Amino acid sequence: MLPDRITPGQVGLDQFPSGGAFVQFSTPYSTSSRVSLNRLAAVAAHSQGRVTVVEIGGGPAHMRLGMRATPMVLYVDAAGAVRRRWSAPPELAELADLSAGLEPRTAQAPVVAAATAKSLA
């Protein structure tokens, strides 16, 4: 049975970021695991630190959390509740929808450029 909650300590974190975490259970040399991890990394890279990715290989963590197939991806919110599960690489559209629903980004202040140098002519 897959978990409904995960603590940050179970995946090697002190706390989950405000947007949560993608926790992927992978197998070495698995093409599907690599595809999935690349997609998750792209989402996290554009999240401005609101989401992180944790990859867990085989071993005790797999067994403690009940993982039997790889890649297995869990999306865990900031409180540790498992919100989504995938047993294959998540589709790009699903990840785009999920990242669009995260807390809003702070708007960047407009950039004003001006030249104050005097002409040498």
| Residue spans of alpha helices (H) in the chain | 31-45, 60-64, 92-100
pLDDT at 20 > cutoff 60? yes
Cα–Cα distances (Å) from 20 to 15, 52, 94, 100, 104, in that order, read: 9, 7, 16, 13, 14
- Average per-residue pLDDT for the chain: 80
Lowest model confidence (mean pLDDT) among 10-19, 52-61, 71-80, 106-115: 106-115
SS3 95: helix
**pLDDT of amino acid 18:** 92
Give 52-55 contacts, CB < 8 A, sequence gap 24+: 52/13, 52/16, 52/17, 52/21, 52/22, 53/21, 53/22, 53/23, 53/24, 54/11, 54/12, 54/13, 54/21, 54/22, 54/23, 54/24, 55/24, 55/26
69 vs 46, residue with greater confidence: 46
As a whole-number percent, the residues of the chain with pLDDT over 70 amount to: 73
**pLDDT of amino acid 59:** 57
Assess contact for 62 and 25: CB atoms under 8 A.
yes
Q: Over range 60-77, report the average pLDDT.
A: 70
pLDDT at 80 > cutoff 80? yes
Give strand pairing partners of 54: 23
CATH topology of domain 8-92: Glutaredoxin (3.40.30)
Lowest model confidence (mean pLDDT) among 32-46, 52-66, 84-98, 101-115: 101-115
Spatial separation of the C-alpha atoms in residues 19 and 103, rounded to whole Å: 7
